[in-house]
Chain A
Amino acid sequence: MTTSLINSRSSQHADAAYLHVPFCVHRCGYCDFTLISGRDELIDVYLEALEIELSSLQSPRPMQTLFLGGGTPSHLSLSQLSRLFDLLDHWLPTTSESEFSLEANPLDLSWEKLDLFAARGVNRISLGVQTFNDDLLKVLERDHSGTQALEAIQRTRSFVDNLSIDLIFGVPGQSLDLWQQTLDLAIAAQPLHISTYGLTIEKGTSFWIRREKGMLSPLTPELEREMYGRVMDCLSAAKFEQYELSNFARPGFACRHNIGYWTGRSFYGFGPGAAQYLDGCRELNHRSVTHWLKRVQSGRSPISERESLNDEDRARELAVLNLRQIAGIDCCEFEERTGFDVHLLAGETITRFLRRGWLEATDSHVRLTREGRFVADTIVAEFL
C-alpha cells in the first residue's frame, strides 16, 4: 500500500478512540494480542511513531470516550506515561465528562503511577486480575499473586473510583469451587465493574501448542457452563447488572467505550493492531509492532486490512453486536440505523430461536434469554 498516513485518515470525526500500548514484561500463555515483551527500548520509538500517527488527525478531536488498552499501558515508566498523556492532551483531549479508561497490571500500580493517572484525567482503570488463586495464576503465567491483586485494588481505589476487574474462567485445573472463591473475593473487593471471560485457546499461543501435545486439558463444556451460570447468579445477587455477555456493572458504570462497539459507533484506532471504524469502514493496523513502527516512521499508512461492508452485511453485523448486549436489538433504532427491519432480515432465524427458548422478543426488542447467553456464538452466527 502506498497510501500516505495523512490521506488514509477519513474525513469523519469520531468522539471515541482506542489506543494500543503493546508492551508487556512477559507474554502470558493464553494471550494472542498484539504485544511485544522484553523490548522496552522500543517504547520511546513507539511514542515517537504514535505522535506521527496521531498528527494524521491534523486537528485535535475531543473525546467522549478514550481507551488505552494493551499489552500493558501501565508498564510504561512515569516519564514515558507523561509523554503519552501530553500527546493525548493535545490530539485526543478529554474532559471530566469523558470516560478515560486504562488497562493495568496489578504489579505496575505504584502510588506514583496511580497519582499520575488520576492527575492526567484517567477516570476508569481496568485491572487484569484473572483469578485470585495463586496456582491458577501460575497456570496462566501471570506475574502477580492473588494477594498482590487485592492490594492493587485497594490502592487504586484511593485514586480512581471507577475500577473494573477482569476475570477468566475455564482455566485448566480450575474447579467450580475455585471459581466461586475468586468470584466471592472479587465481589468483596467492591469494584464498580467486573468482566468475566471464558478462556479461549487461540492459535499461535503456547496454550494452543501445549493442548495439541496433550499437555493441557481444557475443561468440559458442562463445567464451563456451570461456571458461567455461577457468574450470572452471583453477580446479580451482588447488585451487578449484566449489560453484555462478559460484562457486569453497578448501575451507571457500564463501560461507555465498549458499548460503542456493540452499538456500531465510530471510533479511531491508534497503535499496532488497533482497529478503527469510520464512515462504515473498518480498518486494522498492522499487528506486528516493528512493522507498524517502520510504516509510520516512513510516513506510510500503517493499515493492513480495510473492509467496507455492503448495507445488508453491515446491518447483519450490527444485529450480531447488538445481541451481545443483554438489552439486545432495539428494533426501531436498528431500522433507523441500518434501514432494515430486523424481523425481515432474520425472521426465520428469530422464530426458530424463539421456539427453542434461546431468544425472546418484546414489542421493541429482540434479545438473548438467559439460556441463550450460554450458546450465544451458535445463535449470532445465524444472523450473518
Chain B
Amino acid sequence: MNPQFIRNFSIIAHIDHGKSTLADQLLLKTGAITQREFKEQILDDLDVERERGITVKARTVAIPYQQDGIKYELNLIDTPGHVDFHYEVSRSLAACEGALLVVDAFQGVQAQTVANAYAAINNDLVIIPVLNKIDLPVVRIDEVLEEVESILGLDISDVLKVSAKKGIGIEEVFRAIVAKIPPPKGKPEEPLRALVFDSKYDGYRGVLTYVRVMDGTIRKGQKIRFLKAKIDVDVIDMGQFRPHMTACEELGPGQVGYLVTGQKELGLVHVGDTVANPQQLPSAPLPGYQVPQQMVFCGMYPIEATDFEKLREELQKLSMNDASFSFIAETSEALGFGFRCGFLGMLHMEIVQQRLEKEFEIDLIQTAPNVTYEILTRNDEVLVIDNPQRVPDSGQIKEFREPIVRVNFILATEAIGPIMQLCAERRGIYKSTEYLGPKRAQLVYELPLAEVIYDMYDKLKSITRGYGTMDYEIIGFSPADLVKMDILVKGNRVDALSTIVHRSNSDRRGRALAKRLKEEISKHQFEIAIQAAIGAKIIARETISALRKNVTAKCYGGDITRKRKLWAKQKEGKKRMKQFGEVEIPQKAFLSVLDANKDD
C-alpha cells in the first residue's frame, strides 16, 4: 500500500462527547461494518467498559475509504477517554499523524478536551476540531467555538459540525481526514521499524502484538526482532482489524495491524518496543513510551487461600493486556498471601477488580488504595513506599514525601468559591484562574494526589451539579508532615488497615475510621475494641458491644422462603470475611479506610 493513501488518526474527546458514536458512524458509512453487524459502541468490547460507557483499552481498525476514485486506508486508533488513562492516550497518539477532537456542541470544552488536545499537540499531530451533537435542541455553537479558539488555540474557520448519532456531516469528516492529516512519512525500502503500541493475550493464538509500521515493511513468515526485549521470532500470521481480524501478507509504512508470533510466554512483548528485521537492523530504535506512572496501589487477596495461584495467573493475563497495570506478591499478617497491585488511578483499579471477580470468579478482599510515597531515610536513601506497611520507624525518616498533582478544573464561575474552599481544605496551592467566557472559568491548583483521587471528582460533580470537569497530571513529590496510622482490633494490629495520613488530619481521620469500622464489623459474642494509633499513641477508640440479641420475628408457612433467602444472604455476606484472631472482619471494612479519608 502506497503510504500516500494512508491516514492514521485518533478520535479524542471528553467522556460522553460522542467519540464512540462517531467511530461507529465512520465504520458504518464506509461499509467496514454492515448495518447488521453494527452494534452501538462497537469499539468498546470489554464488558466493564460497555457498562460504564468508556473505552479503556486502545483499539484499532482499518477503514477502507474511496474518494474521487482513489482508494484510501484510514486507520482509526481509538483512545481511552478517562483521566486515569492518559498513558494509553499518549500511546495511541504516537501511532497517528492526526486527531479528530470531538467537542459537544452544548457542553463545550471540558477538562479532558483540554488534556487530550494538549497531548495531541505534544505529539505534533494535526488536530481537526469536530463539533458534535449539533442536532440537539439546545446548542451553544458560537460560544463553544470561542472556547475552542481561546482555550485550545485552534483555528475555528472551518470547524466541522456533525451529529454522529444522526449521521449528519460525516462525509465532511472523511474529506477533512484525507485533506488535512498528512500521510505517513516512512519509506517501504528503509530498514523495518514498527512501534508496538499494544498487545493482547488470545487463548488460541498466544500473544497478539499490535504494531504501527513507521519505516519498511513486515511480511508474513519473516523473522523479526523485538529490539528492547532482544528476542527473535517468526511472524506466523498477521493482519488488520477491519474491524474483525482479517489476515494479510504484509504491512507497509503507516499501516497498522497485528502480528501472531506464536509466543505463549507472558511478559515478553513490551508496549513501546520496536520491531525490526534482524537481517537489516535500523540505526536506532523508536523512542517508545514513557513508563506509565502507577500512582494508586492496593492489596488484593484471595478469600480462599487456594485461589492464590489462580489469582497470579489471572493477574498475569491482565497485565499482558494492560501494560499500565502491575502486581507483585506480598503477604499480610491479617490477609495472608496476596498481591500489591499498581494502577493509573481509581477507575483503573475498579475496572481491574471487577474484571477479576466477573471474568475469573475469584472472590477478593481488596485493601483500601493508597498513593505512592517517597521516604528519605537518615542514610539519605530514597525509599518508594507503595504500601503503608513498609513505612519504617519514624526515627529513620528524614523526610516523608507525597506526590503532588496539578489539577485543572473547568467550571461555571459561581462554583469557583466552593471549589477554592474545598482545595484549601485539601492543602491545595492556588495557581491561576482563567475566564473562558462570561460564565466559565479554568481554575488551576496544586494538590496532594492523596487528597484528589478518592473523592475530588465526586465532590466537584456535586458542587457543580455535574457540569464541572477536572483533569490532573503528576508534577512531582514534595515533603509533608505525614504519619502512618495503625488500627488495632481487639488489641491486635491489623496491618492491612494501616494508612498514611497528614498529621494535621490524623485525629479526625482516626476517629472517622474507628467509627466506620464499628459500623462494618458486626457484633460478636464478646466486646471488641477498635483503636487508631500513631506509633504507640492511641488517638481514637470505639467499642463494639457483644452480640446478645437479634430479632425474633415470626416464621410461619408463608414466611419460610423469604426468611431462608434472607438468612442465606446473611451467610453469603460472611464468606467475604477474614478471620482475624477471634474477630471476623468483612471485606467492606478494609475499604472503609477510604470512606474515612473522605470528609464527613
Which residues of A are in contact with B by a Cβ distance under 8 Å? 18, 20, 195, 197-198, 200, 221-222, 224-225, 228, 245-246, 258, 261-262, 267, 269, 273-277, 282, 284, 305, 307, 317, 320-321, 324, 356, 373-378, 380-382, 384
Contact = CB atoms under 8 A, between A and B. Distances in A.
A143 B555 CA distance: 25
Contact of B554 (A222, A246, A275): A246
Given A356-B525, A384-B568, A324 B555 contact: yes
B548 interface: yes
Contact of B558 (A275, A321, A324): A275
Contacts of B571: 381-382, 384
Contacts of B564: 317, 320, 384
B549 A18 contact: no
A321 B552 CA distance: 13
A221 B560 contact: no
B550 A321 contact: no
Nearest to B526: A356
A262 B555 CA distance: 9
Interface residues of B, number: 21
A27 B15 CA distance: 49
A274 B557 CA distance: 8
A35 B560 CA distance: 19
A197 B554 contact: yes
B70 interface: no
A245 B552 contact: yes
Interface in B535-568: 545, 547-558, 560-561, 564, 567-568
A373 B571 CA distance: 18
A221 B551 CA distance: 8
Interface in B49-86: none
B561 A375 contact: no
Contact of B547 (A282, A375, A381): A375
Contacts of A245: 552, 555
Contact of A261 (B547, B556, B567): B556
Given A222-B548, A305-B561, A377 B556 contact: no
B547, B556, B557, B568 — which one has the most chain A CB atoms within 10 A of its CB? B557
Nearest to B570: A381
B558 A376 contact: no
Nearest to A358: B525
Nearest to A287: B558
Given A320-B564, A381-B570, A375 B548 contact: yes
Interface of B: 525, 545, 547-558, 560-561, 564, 567-568, 570-571
B549 A269 contact: no
Given A221-B548, A375-B549, A376-B552, A320 B558 contact: no
Contacts of A274: 557-558
A378 B552 contact: no
Contacts of A376: 550, 552
> Which 4 A-B pairs give the minimum distances between C-beta atoms?
A225-B549, A381-B567, A275-B558, A200-B553
Contacts of A307: 561
Contacts of B551: 198, 200, 224, 377
B558 to A, nearest CB: 4
B550 A375 contact: yes
B550 A378 contact: yes
Nearest to A275: B558
A373 B552 contact: yes
Nearest to A169: B552
Given A375-B549, A377-B551, A282 B561 contact: yes
A382 B553 CA distance: 18
Contacts of B550: 221, 374-378
Contacts of A384: 564, 567-568, 571
A166 to B, nearest CB: 9
A91 B556 CA distance: 23
A321 B548 contact: no
Nearest to B525: A356
Nearest to A373: B552
A377 B560 CA distance: 13
Contacts of B567: 320, 377, 380-381, 384
A262 B564 CA distance: 13
A273 B558 contact: yes
Contacts of A225: 548-549
A377 B559 CA distance: 14
Nearest to A166: B554
20 contacts: A18-B558, A20-B558, A195-B554, A197-B552, A197-B553, A198-B553, A221-B550, A258-B556, A261-B560, A273-B558, A275-B561, A276-B557, A284-B558, A284-B561, A321-B555, A321-B560, A376-B550, A381-B567, A381-B571, A384-B571
